[in-house]
């Protein structure tokens, strides 16, 4: 396998040399290199169009291969040197992974896999689960039933997921540690939820991208695409040391349940009890959270709710925030891209401390209003932003942003695109080979 890896690296270097020669054979201008870099960034940043929804699987039949109608991405360089795919023992992902408690690198064959609680998997060495071809391993819900729409990773540790598409499921990391998502894709539009009008009621699950809770720690997202979510892109509750790097969160909306419509049997606030965001902290106890080199469409909301404890050491570095809107689904709350509050009923001494740098706020030019960062709600002097205590009387500001623009953000030039161009998936794949 060592020789195989060396050969793959040699091929990659040869391809790079050909690209350099091709550029030199042109007019020699710097525009050629810039255009090539922009094209690479765009390919890395923008998720491919979703394939046609495959039919749901039944029983324990082998997972089906994508159909000819599926619009699948081109193969990623490096995938051709991965080990042979395993022969899955089931079409339920949790049952497949339960056979690998010794860890190691396994390659899942392309196909459709159902969710199932992954509970108590703690391999003795790192378990790295890689898609045979990126986005062609799809993890879908078990059935159109409330309670079976989440993929729970709980009481587990030491696992990496790479190149897998979690489709129409909310991935929940609970009471777990050392969990990594590497160039995965997560989508769960409101229309895909079994009971979309009641997703906020009682125990009904919500169409989130990723949720991290239960005192989980050391959870990392690298180059992740969260695209098309009906509630929150990333939701954090009681977690420690979560790093989100090179990630794109876009197209977050709850469709026909936009502000101004009621939600079935739920009680509503101003006609809509939804609180959908790009990133949301709820309750409190979110410590050592880093969002870096990323793009977030929709706002970031950091709350300490009644009884909640402090959110501490939150770092937001080199990030673009966009109050995304469309003709069909206008942006909510005017141009708010960041919101912080600590409820007066929070635990005694609860505070929020946030440090930002290279933070840009974009607002759709069709939106009226100038608010970009709000610090409000039923709170006291308990917010610290960049070392400065924000007084209770200050309810909105934009001074925390390095730049504010009324314009649409170009994701292909965002910090996430730059990070992905510098940290391509194929290089990471080659590094995983024995």
Does the pLDDT at position 51 exceed 70?
no
| In the chain, % of residues over pLDDT 90 | 51
Q: Are 236 and 173 in contact (CB under 8 A)?
A: no
The per-residue pLDDT of the chain, averaged, comes to 79
- Provide the greatest CA pair distance for the chain: 68
Contact 142, 113 (CB under 8 A): no
For 77-116, how does the pLDDT look when each residue is reduced to its tens digit (9 = 90+)? 667 788 999 999 999 999 999 999 999 999 999 999 998 8
Convert the pLDDT of each residue in 382-397 to its tens digit: 999 999 998 888 888 7
Using pLDDT thresholds of 50, 70 and 90, give the confidence band for residue 177: very high
Which one, of 197, 172, 162, 203, lies nearest residue 425 by Cα?
A: 162
Residue-by-residue DSSP string for 151-212: EEEES-EEEEEES-EEES-EEEEES-EEEEEES-EEEE-GGGSSSGGGTTSTT-----SEEE
Judge whether residue 24 has pLDDT over 90. Answer: no
pLDDT value at 39 more than 50: no
- What confidence tier does 239 reach under pLDDT thresholds 50, 70, 90? very high
- Name the nearest CA neighbour of 129 among 78, 166, 169, 181: 181
The 10s digit of each residue's pLDDT in 344-388 is 888 988 999 999 999 999 987 777 667 888 887 777 789 999 999
User: Does residue 144 carry a pLDDT above 60?
Assistant: yes
User: Span 399-424, mean pLDDT?
Assistant: 93
Q: Which domains does the chain have, with CATH numbers?
A: 41-432 (2.160.20)
Percent of the chain with pLDDT over 70: 71
Residue 35 has pLDDT above 70, yes or no: no
Q: Which residues touch 50 (CB under 8 Å, ≥6 apart)?
A: 71, 167, 187, 228
Q: How confident is the model at residue 309 (pLDDT cuts 50, 70, 90)?
A: very high
Top-confidence residue, 108 or 45:
108
Label residue 398 by pLDDT band (50, 70, 90).
confident
Helix (H, G, I), strand (E, B) or coil at 434: coil
Phi and psi at 369, nearest 5°, equal: 120, 160
Read off the DSSP letter of residue 398. -
Q: Which token pair is 66?
A: 């994508």
Cβ proximity of 161 and 134 under 8 Å: no
């Amino acid at each position: 396998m060592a020789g195989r890896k060396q050969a793959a690296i040699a091929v990659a270097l040869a391809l790079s040399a050909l690209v350099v020669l091709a550029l030199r054979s042109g007019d020699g201008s710097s525009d050629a290199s810039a255009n090539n870099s922009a094209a690479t960034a765009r390919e890395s940043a923008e998720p491919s169009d979703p394939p046609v929804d495959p039919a749901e699987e039944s029983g324990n039949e082998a997972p089906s291969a994508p159909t000819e109608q599926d619009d699948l991405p081109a193969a990623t360089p490096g995938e051709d040197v991965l080990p042979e795919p395993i022969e899955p023992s089931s079409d339920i992902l949790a049952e497949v992974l339960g056979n690998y408690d010794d860890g190691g690198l396994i390659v899942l064959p392309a196909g459709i896999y159902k969710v199932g609680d992954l509970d108590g998997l703690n391999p003795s060495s790192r378990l790295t689960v890689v898609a045979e071809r990126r986005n062609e391993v799809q993890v879908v819900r078990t059935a159109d039933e409330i309670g079976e729409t989440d993929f729970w990773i709980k009481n587990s540790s030491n696992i990496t997921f790479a190149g897998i598409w979690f489709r129409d499921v909310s991935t929940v990391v609970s009471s777990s540690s050392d969990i990594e998502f590497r160039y995965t894709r997560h989508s769960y539009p409101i229309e895909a939820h079994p009971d979309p009008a009641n997703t906020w009621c009682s125990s009904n699950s919500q169409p989130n991208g990723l949720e991290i809770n239960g005192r989980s720690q050391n959870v990392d997202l690298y180059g992740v695409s969260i695209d098309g979510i009906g509630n929150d892109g990333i939701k954090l509750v009681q977690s420690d040391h979560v790093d989100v790097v090179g990630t794109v969160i876009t197209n977050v909306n709850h469709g026909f349940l936009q502000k101004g419509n009621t939600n079935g049997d739920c009680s509503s606030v101003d006609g809509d009890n939804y609180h959908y965001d790009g990133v949301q902290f709820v309750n409190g106890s979110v410590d050592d959270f880093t969002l870096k080199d990323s793009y977030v469409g929709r706002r970031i909301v950091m709350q300490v709710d009644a009884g909640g404890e402090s959110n501490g050491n939150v770092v937001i570095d080199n990030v673009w925030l966009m109050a995304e809107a469309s003709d069909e689904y206008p942006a909510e709350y005017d141009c708010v891209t960041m919101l912080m509050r600590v409820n007066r009923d929070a635990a005694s001494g609860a505070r929020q401390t946030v440090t930002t740098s290279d933070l840009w706020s974009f607002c759709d030019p069709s939106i009226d209003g100038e608010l970009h960062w709000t610090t409000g709600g039923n709170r006291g002097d308990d917010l610290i932003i960049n070392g400065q205590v924000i007084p209770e009387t200050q309810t909105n500001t934009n001074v925390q942003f390095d730049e504010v623009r009324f314009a649409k953000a170009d994701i292909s030039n965002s910090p996430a695109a730059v990070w992905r161009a510098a940290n391509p998936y194929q290089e990471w794949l080659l590094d995983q080979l024995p």
